[in-house]
Amino acid sequence: MPDSRKMKKLFWVILSISATVAAVWLTPWAALPRTLLSLTGIIAGVCAICVVAGVLEYRCWLHRIAKLARPLMRFSRLPGECALAFVASFASGNVAALMLAEKRSEGKITRREMILGALCNSIPPLFMFTGYLSLPVVGILGWAGVFYFGISFTVMGLALLIFLVAARLLAAGGAAEWVEEAAAVPLPWREVRKKVLARTLGFLRRLLLLTVPFYLWTSCAIRLGWLDFTPPESWSAFLSPGALAVIGSRVGGLLAASGAAAELLNRGGITFGQLLIALLVGNILNGFTRLLRRGLPLSMGIYPRGDGALIATASVGVRLLLTAVAVILVWRLQA
């Protein structure tokens, strides 16, 4: 049995290395430095976050503020480890993901609890980032920005509610024991260093074997035109030319799209309703692109086996579905 397990691991290592080499070979030399630099930044960021997550957890600093998440976690019936990760997700989604993956590897939470907890943890980072962007965008777009962010926050709130209800229905129920665990004793700094180093090296190995080839192949697919996110011409029956221009400008980010939208609004090139639809459709396209380019590679590098792909796909899929419903409602209201 041990030999077959080693052979299986060796097979996946060889497959991963082969996929990485093939992706590098398909990448033009001019684009390779930028791609590798971006990938190196992702890996370095995850390793740094892994260190921060370990210090926060092993020194028990999160326990002091984790009680803020107690009502939501009690409703969801998720255990205390998930409550700590949920609190951490407001500062960093990757920190929360690393905490859940570590607790799963230690056997302190089940696979189902890890997945449900990860889905709940996917919303707070988006909420914080969107809130950060809201002020300048509202300043540019005025009431259109207010309505856009109102819809965006509503979508996120509904997604979190769906995940919490799913956890309540599917989780075994362990939140009641969390109060006792909150009194955990901080580990000495020497012990923290050992544990953090071991955790970081473990995640680094998975990042190199999973995240790197997936990221490189996604980059190749987009560059070669296998993945095309340009709105088709048939969308013109649903979106005005001005709305299509705003969607196209989302490539440069939300602030760039806001600048283009403000100019179109001033010149009468787009209506209020079409602007909302364009921004929301841009969210859908951008969310799908980020899922392929960053969400899946990172999640698969942190969580075990195919759980990372399931978590990333389900989290983004629910939000995109809710956003699509919002687009239809806005379109019907303006018709």
**Integer Cα distance of 221 and 149 in angstroms:** 32
- Whether residue 322 is predicted with pLDDT greater than 90 in this model: the reply is yes
* Non-local CB neighbours of 78 within 8 Å, separated by 6+ positions: 113, 116, 117, 120, 167, 171, 174, 175
Q: Roughly what angle, to the nearest 10 degrees, separates helices 93-105 and 123-141?
A: 170
Q: Which residue has the higher pLDDT, 62 or 246?
A: 246
pLDDT, one tens digit per residue, over 193-202 is 888 888 788 7
Specify the pLDDT at position 36. 83
- Whether residue 236 is predicted with pLDDT greater than 70 in this model: the reply is no
- Whether residue 335 is predicted with pLDDT greater than 70 in this model: the reply is no
- The radius of gyration of the chain from alpha carbons, rounded to an integer in Å, stands at 22
pLDDT, one tens digit per residue, over 33-67 is 887 887 787 678 767 767 876 777 677 665 555 55
Residue 5 lies in a domain: no
**Cβ distance 80 to 182 under 8 Å?**
yes
The share of the chain scoring above pLDDT 70, in percent, equals: 76
* Non-local CB neighbours of 238 within 8 Å, separated by 6+ positions: 331
Q: Which residue has the higher pLDDT, 48 or 326?
A: 326
Specify the pLDDT at position 184. 56
Residue 1 lies in a domain: no
Can you give the residue range of the structural domain that contains 197? 11-24+32-334
Structural domain total, the chain: 1
Comparing 109-118, 183-192, 249-258, which segment has the lowest mean pLDDT?
249-258
* Non-local CB neighbours of 53 within 8 Å, separated by 6+ positions: 88, 92, 94, 95, 96, 98, 99, 102
Mean pLDDT of the chain: 78
Residue 312 lies in a domain: yes
DSSP string, 146-158: HHHHHHHHHHHHH
Residue 75 lies in a domain: yes
Token output for 148: 């856009």
**Angle at 120 (CA atoms; ends 90, 212), nearest 5 degrees:** 80
Specify the pLDDT at position 29. 84
Specify the pLDDT at position 179. 42
DSSP secondary-structure letter at 188?
P
pLDDT band at residue 285 using 50, 70 and 90 as cut-offs: confident
Q: Measured in whole angstroms, how far is the alpha carbon of residue 278 from the centre of its chain?
A: 22
- Whether residue 119 is predicted with pLDDT greater than 90 in this model: the reply is yes
Q: Of 16-20, 91-95, 132-136, where does the model show the most confidence?
A: 16-20
Residue 283 lies in a domain: yes
Residue 6 lies in a domain: no
* Non-local CB neighbours of 98 within 8 Å, separated by 6+ positions: 46, 49, 50, 53, 199, 203, 302
Specify the pLDDT at position 160. 93
pLDDT band at residue 176 using 50, 70 and 90 as cut-offs: very low
Residue 126 lies in a domain: yes
Specify the pLDDT at position 2. 54
Token output for 219: 């980059």
Residue 133 lies in a domain: yes
